[in-house]
Structure 1
Amino acid sequence: MEREKLELPENGEKLLLHSCCAPCSGEVMEAILASAIDFSIFFYNPNIHPRREYELRKDENIRFAEKYNIPFIDADYDRDEWFKRAKGMEMEPERGIRCTMCFDMRFERTALYAYENGFNVITSSLGISRWKNMEQINGSGVRAAAKYPGITYWTYNWRKKGGSARMLEISKREKFYMQEYCGCAFSLRDTNNWRAKKGRGRIRIGEKYYGEADK
């Protein structure tokens, strides 16, 4: 399938792509590259827990960015601030207000960096996942961009025209680390509780990779 030629919105010239992980961003990165758009990766995900999981996801993203010589901006982990903002939301469900807070925090930092460093468009790979609410993600992105003059959040639907299928193909081709929960401590807790009810073992961090047989 021939890729669609992408164009940045609002006469955009330079894109800052917030990346949550290599599996979600792989297709997004290749689509942007194929359209000859000037962009850099911004990795700011203080929600990811524990630290080992965070480093695994970041390292995989760096590996893929280096393959294509894409600039990679490694932002602060900032985990304590994330837990501070999540206080009182510990039992909220996936896609609830805790997730909105999480998206807001990450996109606000992305928009600020873009404003201070010559980018005029921001977007995120988060929306390509079918487990996420795209309207929730886009709402956070648009709110964050609106705080800074000249910054636009690109609401492009990365799932369409085979994007989700290519996301999986690229993950298998590159043998990316396979994440088994959204990322935060509470999603890890809830996923393990669900697995226990289904008679499945707990998540074992750092063991599963796309394209390899289950261990």
Structure 2
Amino acid sequence: MSSDSELFREALGQLGDVKPLVRERKVALRKDSDSGLNKRARREAAIEEIEAQLNPLTGEGVDPVDPWDPLEFKRDGVQNGVYRNLRLGKYRVDARLDLHRHTVEMARRAVLEFVRDCMEADVRCALITHGKGEGRKQPAVLKSCVNAWLPHLREVLAFHSAQKQHGGLGATYVLLRKSERRRQDNLERHQRRR
């Protein structure tokens, strides 16, 4: 008894000159050797992309902030009630970053990675502890840098110095954009209610 594949070959042979169709690819596919970007390499690439947003920003040329000044920033479109709740510490803090004992460059990189990781994990409210930097030769260096860097990250909607129980003037609440996945979930949830 002949197998199906043998019968198929015989039928093709009886038809004469049969050639397979040539299809053009619509999307260029990467070979396995090209997709050797592991998780770490992808992470580095994403960090470089975010760093490009902050390219001119280093610790130099940053306007100094007094150790006792609160940090505050709100993008247009953020509702006043949302910002007030952030300022009052009413949102659950889902991620924390401590910048104590970081150099400016280490802190910069840590903030970039932190924001990126928060976006991947659908974190909406995070806390960055930078310290007040009082009593130092150059007071509030990291606090001043965080104040200068965060508005340049489009993922950051708003930030404000934390309440006392979360570090007070030595820490900052950060409100982040919803990820695309979370935005779609909200859209679907609200459409079902109608």
**TM-score normalized by structure 1?**
0.28
Structure with higher Rg: it is 2
TM-score, reference length from structure 2:
0.30
